[in-house]
């Protein structure tokens, strides 16, 4: 400060000072300490991520010492006694239940998000979105309990017999109605991922430039036409991102799936059949697993899950932020 004032007095042009808050040079010891601590805490997030990868790799190493990655992924035989570990039934079950969840939840979520942001009166919107947030607050194990009490009997006595009669020619709807199975787990997952997809889609829809919507309305468009002309073209990538986020949640969801999928190590085309999923096998066997290879196999299941959800989430975040920032900044 003193220096710059001296410059002014000397008749030299005044120095342009940078704003203090972004300038770390010349700060006091307190500032250095404070921002040092913050820096460490921020860096800690990276450390946590590193620890997750490192530990998953370490615990699953005994398995990969005796079995190749590809053998593990494509093997359909899982027997801790004979030490054969193939994760295909679990990978298949995880994918099938998650796909069922996304196929059921996304159309409902888009409709709901449109209703909240476009069709419903603005004053009503908070009263509609709050209950959706409640859906997100209910713990997974409670959904599982609900699924056991409501979803499974309902599927067994009404939905599956009906689907079997009406669409029994499709391989997906063949077989006896058991209740437990891919369909039960998938439907429960659909309910669980609904709030994620709705809230992210609604956020994206809200960023539609008001001028575009008003232009459509001014040309005489109905509300629905303003949706198809302005809101949907703007939000399409963001809704895809929201669906991917939902898919990511569905893939990793443990308790409800463990309770509803039936825990059978068979691979079946039919959605009525019981199956298994990656999180479910970890939840069921990890506490009882004693030898390192078995634990390693379960950790390898975790590693697969981690890699898939990491990639999905990264893609989804990118899509959502790209839409929210607007097309101008997508390039950077």
Q: Which of 191, 202, 204, 231 binds other proteins (CB under 8 A)?
A: 191
If one asks whether residue 108 binds other proteins (CB under 8 A), the answer comes out as: yes
If one asks whether residue 229 binds other proteins (CB under 8 A), the answer comes out as: no
Give the x-and-dash track for 55-94 against other proteins (CB under 8 A): xx-xx-----------------------------------
If one asks whether residue 283 binds other proteins (CB under 8 A), the answer comes out as: yes
For residues 32-49, one letter each, b for 16 or more C-beta atoms within 10 angstroms of the residue's C-beta and e for the rest, the string is eeeeeeeeeeeeeeeeee
170: CB partners within 8 A, 6+ apart: none
Nearest CA to 90 among 75, 111, 70? 75
Q: Minimum Å distance from CB 227 to other proteins?
A: 8
Which ranges in the chain belong to alpha helices (H)? 2-9, 29-66, 69-74, 88-114, 125-137, 140-146, 152-154, 160-167, 182-206, 210-218, 223-226, 232-252, 255-260, 278-285, 292-325
Using the contact rule CB under 8 A, the part of the chain among 3-11, 85-93, 164-172, 241-249 near other proteins is: 241-249
If one asks whether residue 224 binds other proteins (CB under 8 A), the answer comes out as: yes
Using the contact rule CB under 8 A, the part of the chain among 44-52, 73-81, 209-217, 235-243 near other proteins is: 44-52
Q: Which of 95, 99, 115, 264 binds other proteins (CB under 8 A)?
A: 115
Q: Minimum Å distance from CB 102 to other proteins?
A: 15
Taking CA 28 as the corner, what is the angle to CA 24 and CA 32, rounded to the nearest 5 degrees? 55
Contact 143, 192 (CB under 8 A): yes
If one asks whether residue 217 binds other proteins (CB under 8 A), the answer comes out as: no
Please give the Cα distance from 281 to 293 (Å, whole number). 15
Give the x-and-dash track for 141-160 against other proteins (CB under 8 A): xxxxxx-xxx----------
Q: Which of 63, 87, 101, 132 binds other proteins (CB under 8 A)?
A: 132
Burial label for 327, CB within 10 Å (0-12, 13-18, 19+), is: exposed
Taking CA 103 as the corner, what is the angle to CA 97 and CA 104, rounded to the nearest 5 degrees? 90
Q: Which of 20, 157, 158, 266 binds other proteins (CB under 8 A)?
A: 20
**Interaction with other proteins in 301-330: which residues (CB under 8 A)?**
302, 305-306, 309-310, 312-314, 316-317
Using the contact rule CB under 8 A, the part of the chain among 80-88, 103-111, 161-169, 200-208 near other proteins is: 103-111
């Amino acid at each position: 400060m003193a220096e710059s004032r001296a410059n002014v007095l000397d008749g030299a042009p005044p120095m342009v000072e940078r704003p203090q808050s972004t300038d770390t040079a010349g700060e006091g010891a307190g500032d250095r300490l404070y921002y040092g601590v913050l820096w460490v805490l921020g860096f800690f997030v990276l450390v946590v991520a590193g620890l997750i990868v490192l530990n998953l790799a370490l615990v699953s190493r005994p398995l990969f010492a005796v079995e190749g990655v590809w053998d593990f992924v494509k093997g359909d035989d899982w027997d801790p006694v004979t030490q054969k570990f193939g994760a295909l039934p679990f990978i298949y079950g995880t994918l099938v239940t998650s796909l069922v969840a996304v196929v059921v939840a996304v159309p409902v979520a888009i409709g709901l998000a449109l209703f909240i942001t476009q069709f419903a009166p603005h004053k009503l919107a908070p009263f509609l979105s709050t209950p959706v947030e409640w859906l997100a607050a209910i713990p997974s194990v409670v959904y599982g309990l609900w699924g056991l009490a409501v979803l499974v009997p309902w599927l067994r006595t009404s939905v599956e017999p009906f689907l079997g009669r009406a669409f029994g020619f499709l391989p997906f709807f063949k077989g006896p109605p058991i209740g437990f199975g891919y369909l039960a787990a998938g439907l429960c997952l659909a309910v669980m991922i609904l709030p994620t997809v709705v809230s992210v889609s609604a956020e994206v829809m809200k960023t539609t430039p008001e001028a575009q919507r008003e232009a459509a309305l001014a040309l005489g468009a109905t509300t629905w036409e303003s949706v198809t002309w302005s809101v949907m073209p703007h939000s399409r990538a963001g809704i895809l991102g929201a669906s991917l986020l939902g898919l990511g949640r569905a893939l990793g969801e443990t308790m409800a799936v463990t309770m509803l999928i039936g825990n059978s190590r068979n691979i079946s085309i039919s959605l009525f059949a019981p199956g298994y999923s990656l999180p479910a096998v970890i939840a069921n066997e990890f506490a009882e697993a004693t030898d390192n290879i078995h634990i390693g196999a379960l950790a390898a299941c975790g590693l697969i899950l981690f890699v898939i959800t990491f990639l999905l989430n990264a893609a989804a975040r990118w899509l959502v932020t790209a839409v929210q920032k607007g097309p101008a900044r997508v390039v950077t």
